[in-house]
Amino acid sequence: MKKAKKTKAPIQKTALDRVTARLRTALRREITNIIEIGKLLIESRKHLQHGEWQAWLAENFDLSYRTAHRYVSAAEYLAKSDTVAHFANLSPTVLYALAEGHYNEQEQAAILAAIRERRVDEDAAWAICEKLAPADDDADDAADTDDGGEDDGAVEDADISAILDGPPPAVPPPAPNPPPTDFALRDFDQAIGTLNRLKTKPSTQFAQTIHSADDLESIEAFIRAVMKARRQ
Protein backbone atom coordinates (compact mmCIF):
# COMPACT_ATOMS: atom_id res chain seq x y z
CA MET A 1 0.00 0.00 0.00
CA LYS A 2 1.16 3.52 -0.81
CA LYS A 3 1.91 5.65 2.16
CA ALA A 4 -0.11 8.81 2.40
CA LYS A 5 1.92 11.96 1.72
CA LYS A 6 2.55 14.12 4.71
CA THR A 7 1.24 17.64 4.36
CA LYS A 8 3.17 20.50 5.87
CA ALA A 9 1.45 22.26 8.70
CA PRO A 10 0.44 25.82 7.78
CA ILE A 11 2.77 28.49 9.09
CA GLN A 12 1.14 30.28 12.00
CA LYS A 13 1.34 34.05 11.78
CA THR A 14 2.24 35.79 14.99
CA ALA A 15 0.77 39.06 16.16
CA LEU A 16 3.98 40.79 15.06
CA ASP A 17 3.65 39.30 11.56
CA ARG A 18 0.15 40.75 11.30
CA VAL A 19 1.34 44.16 12.52
CA THR A 20 4.20 44.04 9.99
CA ALA A 21 1.82 43.28 7.13
CA ARG A 22 -0.57 46.09 8.13
CA LEU A 23 2.30 48.55 8.50
CA ARG A 24 3.61 47.67 5.03
CA THR A 25 0.15 48.27 3.62
CA ALA A 26 -0.09 51.63 5.38
CA LEU A 27 3.35 52.68 4.08
CA ARG A 28 2.36 51.74 0.54
CA ARG A 29 -0.77 53.85 0.94
CA GLU A 30 1.37 56.77 2.13
CA ILE A 31 3.41 56.78 -1.09
CA THR A 32 0.29 56.12 -3.17
CA ASN A 33 -1.38 59.15 -1.58
CA ILE A 34 1.66 61.32 -2.31
CA ILE A 35 1.56 60.37 -5.98
CA GLU A 36 -2.21 60.85 -6.18
CA ILE A 37 -1.97 64.29 -4.55
CA GLY A 38 0.84 65.23 -6.93
CA LYS A 39 -1.18 64.18 -9.97
CA LEU A 40 -4.21 66.16 -8.81
CA LEU A 41 -2.08 69.24 -8.20
CA ILE A 42 -0.60 68.90 -11.68
CA GLU A 43 -4.13 68.64 -13.08
CA SER A 44 -5.27 71.70 -11.10
CA ARG A 45 -2.62 73.90 -12.74
CA LYS A 46 -4.14 73.20 -16.14
CA HIS A 47 -7.32 75.00 -15.05
CA LEU A 48 -5.60 78.12 -13.70
CA GLN A 49 -3.91 81.07 -15.32
CA HIS A 50 -0.20 81.66 -14.88
CA GLY A 51 0.49 83.02 -11.39
CA GLU A 52 -2.87 81.95 -9.94
CA TRP A 53 -1.87 78.55 -8.59
CA GLN A 54 -0.18 79.70 -5.38
CA ALA A 55 -3.13 81.91 -4.43
CA TRP A 56 -5.53 79.06 -5.21
CA LEU A 57 -3.55 76.76 -2.91
CA ALA A 58 -3.61 79.28 -0.05
CA GLU A 59 -7.35 79.85 -0.45
CA ASN A 60 -8.41 76.20 -0.58
CA PHE A 61 -5.87 74.17 1.37
CA ASP A 62 -3.68 74.30 4.47
CA LEU A 63 -0.77 73.47 2.19
CA SER A 64 2.36 75.52 1.66
CA TYR A 65 3.63 76.20 -1.84
CA ARG A 66 6.82 74.27 -1.08
CA THR A 67 4.93 71.18 0.12
CA ALA A 68 2.67 71.27 -2.94
CA HIS A 69 5.69 71.59 -5.19
CA ARG A 70 7.27 68.52 -3.56
CA TYR A 71 4.12 66.48 -4.24
CA VAL A 72 4.24 67.58 -7.87
CA SER A 73 7.95 66.82 -8.20
CA ALA A 74 7.47 63.34 -6.73
CA ALA A 75 4.62 62.54 -9.12
CA GLU A 76 6.57 63.84 -12.12
CA TYR A 77 9.66 61.91 -11.09
CA LEU A 78 7.86 58.58 -10.81
CA ALA A 79 6.06 59.19 -14.09
CA LYS A 80 9.49 59.14 -15.79
CA SER A 81 10.90 56.24 -13.76
CA ASP A 82 11.00 52.58 -14.78
CA THR A 83 10.68 51.47 -11.14
CA VAL A 84 7.06 52.53 -10.64
CA ALA A 85 6.14 48.95 -9.71
CA HIS A 86 8.47 49.19 -6.71
CA PHE A 87 7.91 52.81 -5.64
CA ALA A 88 6.07 51.68 -2.49
CA ASN A 89 9.45 50.58 -1.12
CA LEU A 90 10.62 54.19 -1.03
CA SER A 91 10.11 56.28 2.07
CA PRO A 92 8.59 59.72 1.33
CA THR A 93 11.80 61.46 2.42
CA VAL A 94 13.92 59.50 -0.06
CA LEU A 95 11.33 59.93 -2.81
CA TYR A 96 11.36 63.71 -2.35
CA ALA A 97 15.17 63.73 -2.31
CA LEU A 98 15.29 61.72 -5.56
CA ALA A 99 12.75 64.00 -7.22
CA GLU A 100 14.71 67.11 -6.16
CA GLY A 101 18.04 65.75 -7.44
CA HIS A 102 19.79 65.38 -4.08
CA TYR A 103 21.62 62.23 -5.23
CA ASN A 104 24.11 61.86 -8.06
CA GLU A 105 23.48 59.42 -10.91
CA GLN A 106 25.38 56.54 -9.31
CA GLU A 107 23.64 56.95 -5.95
CA GLN A 108 20.24 57.28 -7.62
CA ALA A 109 20.77 54.10 -9.66
CA ALA A 110 21.83 52.17 -6.54
CA ILE A 111 18.80 53.33 -4.55
CA LEU A 112 16.39 52.44 -7.36
CA ALA A 113 18.02 49.02 -7.69
CA ALA A 114 17.68 48.45 -3.93
CA ILE A 115 13.94 49.14 -3.84
CA ARG A 116 13.36 46.20 -6.17
CA GLU A 117 14.19 43.98 -3.19
CA ARG A 118 13.57 45.94 0.00
CA ARG A 119 12.29 49.16 1.52
CA VAL A 120 14.71 52.08 1.44
CA ASP A 121 14.29 54.82 4.03
CA GLU A 122 16.59 57.78 4.72
CA ASP A 123 19.05 55.71 6.79
CA ALA A 124 19.23 52.97 4.15
CA ALA A 125 19.80 55.55 1.41
CA TRP A 126 22.59 57.12 3.46
CA ALA A 127 24.22 53.69 3.89
CA ILE A 128 24.02 53.10 0.13
CA CYS A 129 25.72 56.44 -0.55
CA GLU A 130 28.45 55.70 1.99
CA LYS A 131 29.23 52.39 0.27
CA LEU A 132 29.60 54.21 -3.04
CA ALA A 133 32.07 56.72 -1.59
CA PRO A 134 35.72 56.18 -2.66
CA ALA A 135 37.39 53.61 -0.40
CA ASP A 136 40.35 54.60 1.75
CA ASP A 137 43.58 53.40 0.18
CA ASP A 138 45.82 52.42 3.10
CA ALA A 139 48.04 50.01 1.23
CA ASP A 140 51.53 51.26 0.45
CA ASP A 141 52.71 50.82 -3.09
CA ALA A 142 55.07 47.87 -3.30
CA ALA A 143 58.55 48.64 -4.51
CA ASP A 144 59.03 47.67 -8.10
CA THR A 145 62.18 45.59 -8.10
CA ASP A 146 64.12 44.51 -11.16
CA ASP A 147 66.94 41.97 -11.04
CA GLY A 148 68.67 43.57 -13.98
CA GLY A 149 70.45 40.33 -14.85
CA GLU A 150 72.86 38.03 -12.99
CA ASP A 151 75.35 39.05 -10.29
CA ASP A 152 78.02 41.13 -12.01
CA GLY A 153 80.91 40.68 -9.61
CA ALA A 154 82.56 41.80 -6.45
CA VAL A 155 81.20 45.36 -6.56
CA GLU A 156 77.63 44.16 -6.31
CA ASP A 157 78.63 41.64 -3.61
CA ALA A 158 80.22 44.43 -1.59
CA ASP A 159 77.09 46.52 -1.88
CA ILE A 160 74.95 43.63 -0.71
CA SER A 161 77.27 42.92 2.21
CA ALA A 162 77.19 46.59 3.24
CA ILE A 163 73.41 46.51 3.27
CA LEU A 164 73.22 43.26 5.20
CA ASP A 165 75.88 44.22 7.76
CA GLY A 166 74.76 47.79 8.22
CA PRO A 167 71.86 49.18 10.24
CA PRO A 168 68.37 48.52 8.99
CA PRO A 169 67.09 51.15 6.59
CA ALA A 170 64.77 53.80 7.98
CA VAL A 171 61.12 53.01 7.30
CA PRO A 172 59.07 56.05 6.39
CA PRO A 173 55.98 56.60 8.52
CA PRO A 174 52.76 55.34 6.95
CA ALA A 175 50.71 57.90 5.08
CA PRO A 176 47.78 59.19 7.11
CA ASN A 177 44.39 57.84 6.20
CA PRO A 178 42.30 60.27 4.18
CA PRO A 179 39.31 61.57 6.12
CA PRO A 180 35.95 59.87 5.42
CA THR A 181 33.68 61.50 2.89
CA ASP A 182 31.65 64.30 4.47
CA PHE A 183 28.34 64.11 2.59
CA ALA A 184 26.96 67.23 4.29
CA LEU A 185 30.01 69.24 3.19
CA ARG A 186 29.68 67.85 -0.32
CA ASP A 187 26.04 68.97 -0.51
CA PHE A 188 26.98 72.39 0.90
CA ASP A 189 29.75 72.85 -1.70
CA GLN A 190 27.36 71.87 -4.49
CA ALA A 191 24.75 74.34 -3.25
CA ILE A 192 27.28 77.18 -3.01
CA GLY A 193 28.58 76.31 -6.48
CA THR A 194 25.05 76.57 -7.86
CA LEU A 195 24.46 79.92 -6.14
CA ASN A 196 27.78 81.18 -7.46
CA ARG A 197 26.65 80.46 -11.02
CA LEU A 198 23.29 82.15 -10.44
CA LYS A 199 24.55 85.34 -8.79
CA THR A 200 25.01 87.03 -12.18
CA LYS A 201 21.26 86.82 -12.77
CA PRO A 202 18.94 89.62 -11.64
CA SER A 203 17.62 88.97 -8.17
CA THR A 204 14.06 89.70 -9.25
CA GLN A 205 14.19 86.55 -11.37
CA PHE A 206 14.12 84.48 -8.19
CA ALA A 207 11.36 86.37 -6.39
CA GLN A 208 8.88 83.59 -7.22
CA THR A 209 10.94 80.99 -5.35
CA ILE A 210 9.02 78.35 -3.43
CA HIS A 211 10.99 79.32 -0.32
CA SER A 212 9.62 81.93 2.04
CA ALA A 213 11.46 85.07 3.12
CA ASP A 214 12.01 83.42 6.51
CA ASP A 215 13.67 80.46 4.75
CA LEU A 216 16.00 82.77 2.85
CA GLU A 217 16.89 84.75 5.97
CA SER A 218 17.64 81.52 7.81
CA ILE A 219 19.95 80.42 4.99
CA GLU A 220 21.64 83.83 5.00
CA ALA A 221 22.29 83.53 8.74
CA PHE A 222 23.66 80.03 8.27
CA ILE A 223 26.07 81.14 5.52
CA ARG A 224 27.25 84.05 7.68
CA ALA A 225 27.94 81.58 10.49
CA VAL A 226 29.97 79.43 8.10
CA MET A 227 31.90 82.54 6.97
CA LYS A 228 32.69 83.42 10.59
CA ALA A 229 33.87 79.87 11.35
CA ARG A 230 36.09 79.81 8.26
CA ARG A 231 37.75 83.14 9.11
CA GLN A 232 38.56 81.87 12.58
Model confidence over 62-121: pLDDT tens digits? Answer: 878 888 888 899 888 888 876 666 787 888 888 888 888 888 888 888 988 898 888 888
Residues 170-195 have a mean pLDDT of: 73
Give bridge partners of residue 149 from the DSSP assignment: none
Stretch 139-158: mean pLDDT, rounded?
Answer: 54
Task: Check whether 143 has a pLDDT greater than 50.
Answer: no
Contacts 24+ apart (CB under 8 A), 76-80: 76/38, 76/42, 78/35
**Distance, CA of 137 to CA of 134 (rounded, Å):** 9
Q: What is the pLDDT of residue 175?
A: 64
Residue of 109, 94, 100, 93 lying closest to 77 (CA atoms) = 100
The set of residues, in sequence order, having a beta carbon less than 8 Å from that of 114 and lying 6+ positions away, is: 120, 124, 128
The reported pLDDT for the residue numbered 7 is 57
**Quick one: pLDDT at residue 171?**
63
Amino acid at 208: Q
Q: Is the pLDDT of residue 142 over 50?
A: no
Residues 156-168 as b/e (b if ≥16 CB within 10 A, e otherwise) read: eeeeeeeeeeeee
Q: What is the rounded CA–CA span in Å between residue 56 and residue 39?
A: 16
Segment 116-136 mean pLDDT: 84
Phi, then psi, of 87 in degrees rounded to 5: -65, -20
pLDDT tens string 8-60? 555 567 888 788 777 767 767 777 888 888 889 999 988 888 888 888 888 88
d(CA 87, CA 29): 11
Cα separation, 61 vs 51, in Å, equals 17
Give the C-alpha separation, 178 to 190, whole Å.
21
- Confidence check: pLDDT of 153 > 70: no
The fraction of the chain above a pLDDT of 90, given in percent, is: 1
How would residue 139 be classed by pLDDT, with cut points 50, 70 and 90? very low
Contacts of 60 (CB under 8 A, 6+ apart): none
